[in-house]
Structure 1
C-alpha cells in the first residue's frame, strides 16, 4: 500500500532529522499548522500549535540529552505510531527512563499532528521541570 509506506518514510525522516538535530529537515516534515500534544506538567507539556512551536519543543527535548531508541513502527491509514524508549540523565542527577508512543498524523506527506503517550508522565514532568543553560525552548 503506497499510503502506508509513505507514512513510514515520513516517520523515518522525522526520526533522522531529530537524531541529527537537523532543523531544516524537521521543519520540512511539519505542516505549518501542526499541533503537538504532550501530557504532564513539565516545560514540554501541553499542546503547541504551529511549525515553530513544534520545532522548539523537539529541540528542547534534544537539548536535555534525551536518547531515543526506536522499538517499533506501527503504520495506520492516517499516519504512524512510533514505539520509543527515551532515556537521559540531567546534570543534577535526575533521570528519565520512559516508554512512549508518538503518533504522527500524516497528510500529503507532512505531519499535521503529533500526539505523545507516555508510560511515566510524572517522571517526564520532573525531568523537564527546570530549565538548564543552553536550552533553546521558551515554553512554560
Structure 2
C-alpha cells in the first residue's frame, strides 16, 4: 500500500470512528504521544497530549450533539487533512455552524498530531463553554 493510500485509509477510519462514537477504534489509530491543538478559549481549546486525552476530547465534542459532514479528504506527504462542516444546537439554543480543516500528521501508520483550523473560532469557543 502506498503512503498516500495509507494516509487516506487512516483519515477515513479516523472520521468514521468519530462519527460512530467508536472510541476503541479511534484510540487504535493514535500514537501514544499524540498532540491535538485547537484554537480559541472554549472548553476544547488548547493543546492536549496523549492518546487518552485525545479520545476524551473527541468524546466531549461528540457529546454535544455534533453533526460532522465530510467535504473533502486531502492527502499530503506526512498525513491528510479533512475538510469538514460541523453543526450542532445546544439545549439552551446556542448553535455551532463552522467549517474546519482537521490536519492529521502521521508516522508509521499512526496519527501523531492533530491540528484543527476553524472558520469561526469565537463561535466554537462560545459553543463549547458552559453558559
User: For 1:129, what is the secondary structure of its paired residue?
Assistant: coil
Structure 1 residue 23, shift from structure 2 partner: 1.1
Deviations 1:19-75 (A, max 9, x none): 111111000001000000000000000000000110000000000001000000000
List aligned pairs for 1:85-124, cutoff 5 A: 85-124=85-124
Q: Distance in 2 between matches of 1:130 and 1:57?
A: 15
Structure 1 residue 2, shift from structure 2 partner: 0.4
Would you say how many aligned residue pairs link Structure 1 and Structure 2? 131
Where in structure 2 are there 5+ consecutive unaligned residues? Answer: none
User: For 2:124, what is the secondary structure of its paired residue?
Assistant: helix
Q: Distance in 2 between matches of 1:74 and 1:17?
A: 18
Tell me which residue corresponds to 2:42: 42
Tell me which residue corresponds to 2:67: 67
Q: Distance in 2 between matches of 1:26 and 1:130?
A: 26
Is residue 43 of structure 2 the alignment partner of residue 33 of structure 1?
Answer: no
Q: Distance in 2 between matches of 1:23 and 1:85?
A: 21
Q: Distance in 2 between matches of 1:121 and 1:62?
A: 18
Where in structure 1 are there 5+ consecutive unaligned residues? Answer: 132-140
TM-score (norm 2): 0.98
Runs of 4+ in structure 1 over 2 Å off: none
User: For 1:43, what is the secondary structure of its paired residue?
Assistant: coil
Deviations 1:98-139 (A, max 9, x none): 0000000011111000000000000000000118xxxxxxxx
